[in-house]
Amino acid sequence: MKIKNKISLILSSLAMMFAFTSCLNDEAIENQEYGLINLNANKIIEIPAPGNHTANITTLDEGIKVFKQEVRLAAEKPAQEDIVVHLEIVSDRKTVLAAVRELLSDKYPKEGDNAVDDEDIYTYPVSSISVPATVTIPKGARSVELPITIDTHLLTPEIQFALIRIKSVENEGYIISGNFGQLLLNMKLKHKYAGRYALTGTMEHLPNPSAYVHITNYPGMNPFPVQLQTLDGKSIVMFDEVGFGDYIYPMMTSTGGFSGWGSFAPVFTFDDAGNITAVTNYYGQPAGNTRSAELDPSGVNKYDEATKSFQVSYWMNQPSVVTTPPHHRCHMVETYKFIGDL
C-alpha cells in the first residue's frame, strides 16, 4: 500500500507540474482570461518582446528614423492612474555584451569551439540612438508607445547591438519586470536591392575568348543563382552561394570545369535613382593579384523597379596579365533578376 501511495503521489505531482508548465505558455493567462494570478497585487511594468527579449531591426540607409515598441502594464485591470516610466539607453559596453551573452548565448557563446570574442560583437554608438526620458501609460490604458530614434546611416551590414532599459517607475506600487525590464536591439543595415538573384549574361575573355566563358554556359546553370549582399548603404557585392560559398566571381573553363576569378567579386554602387554609378572589386582597386573592376558606361547600368532586375556592363582589369592600357581582361554584360530576400 505504501508503495502504491508513493506512486500515486508522484504521478499527481507530475500532473500538477505539467499543468503549471503549460500555463506558462498559455496566451489566455496574459490576456487575463483565467484570473489564476493576482496581477493587481503585482502590477508589472515591462517592454514586451519575443522569448529572447530582443527586437530585430533590419533597415535601409534612410537617415534619422523612428522605430516603435511599447511599454506595457501587466496587471488585472488597466492603469488606474497615469503611470510615468523612466527609460535609458545603456551606455556601458560591458553591460550590453553581458546581455548579448545571456540572451543570445547560442549565437554568441563565450567558450567552446564556436566561441565569439568580445571584439567581434559590435555595439551601436550610444550618441546616435535615443528614447524619451519618460513615457506615460495613460489612466485607463495598458500600454504606451515607445519611439526609438536611430541614425540608420551609422548602421552596418554586421549586426550591432543596443540596450534599452526601464530605469524606474515614478509612481509607487509598481514592479519593473525581471525578464522584460530591458530590450536588446539587434540591428543591421540592408541595401534596398540586396537579395538572391538569377544571373544571366556574357563574359568575354579578351586575350583568348575560348579559354574562359560565362558561368551560365555551365550545364544546368542558366540562370545562375547568386547573392547580392549589402556592403553599405549604396553598394551590394556578389557572393557565390553555389560553387565556392565565398566572394568569388564564378566562370567556366574551356574544358567545361567550374572555376572562378580569385580575389575578384564585383561591387555594384547605385545612386538614389537606381543608376549604377560604379563597379569595383570587393578585394580592392586593385587586389593583390592586380584585378580590379571598371564600369562600362555604354551599358544600360540601371535598376528596373518594374521587373526587379538590373542590367550592367563592366570590365575586369588585370595589368599583370594584360600589360597594355586599359588592361581589360574580361568584359561582362549581365542581367540580375530578383528571386527573393536573403
How would you list the strands of the sheet with 129-130, edge to edge? 129-130, 143-151, 64-74, 43-46, 174-176
* 182 and 252 housed in the same domain: no
| Omega before residue 286 within 30° of 0, cis | yes
CA dist list (Å): 84 to 81, 132, 138, 174: 9, 11, 9, 11
Confirm if 312 and 301 have CB atoms less than 8 A apart.
Answer: yes
CA dihedral 196, 199, 204, 210 (to 10 degrees): 110
All residue ranges of the chain with pLDDT < 50 are 1-36
> Cell triple for residue 129?
540612438
Of the candidates 269, 270, 302, 262, which has an alpha carbon nearest to the alpha carbon of residue 286?
Answer: 262
The residue assigned the cell 502594464 is 73
For residue 52, the model assigns a pLDDT of 80
- Please identify, among 189, 222, 249, the residue that sits at the C-terminal boundary of a domain: 189
* 179 and 280 housed in the same domain: no
Of the candidates 199, 296, 284, which has an alpha carbon nearest to the alpha carbon of residue 238?
Answer: 199
**pTM of the model as a whole:** 0.77
DSSP 145-162: EEEEEEEGGG--SS-EEE
Q: How far apart are CA 82 and CA 97, in angstroms?
A: 34
* 164 and 267 housed in the same domain: no
CATH number for 77: 2.60.40.1740
For residue 39, the model assigns a pLDDT of 53
Of the candidates 262, 250, 69, 239, which has an alpha carbon nearest to the alpha carbon of residue 157?
Answer: 239
Q: How far apart are CA 82 and CA 141, in angstroms?
A: 9
Has residue 227 been placed in a domain? Answer: yes
Q: How far apart are CA 236 and CA 146, in angstroms?
A: 33
Has residue 1 been placed in a domain? Answer: no
By residue range, what is the domain housing residue 298? 195-340
* 90 and 216 housed in the same domain: no
Has residue 204 been placed in a domain? Answer: yes
Q: How far apart are CA 151 and CA 91, in angstroms?
A: 16
CA dihedral 272, 276, 282, 287 (to 10 degrees): -130
Per the structure, the count of domains in the chain is 2
Has residue 305 been placed in a domain? Answer: yes
For residue 13, the model assigns a pLDDT of 42
Q: State the CB neighbour count (10 A cutoff) for residue 136.
A: 16
Exposure letters 101-133 (e unless 16+ CB within 10 A, then b): bebbeeebeeeeeeebeeeebebbeeeebbbbe
For residue 306, the model assigns a pLDDT of 98
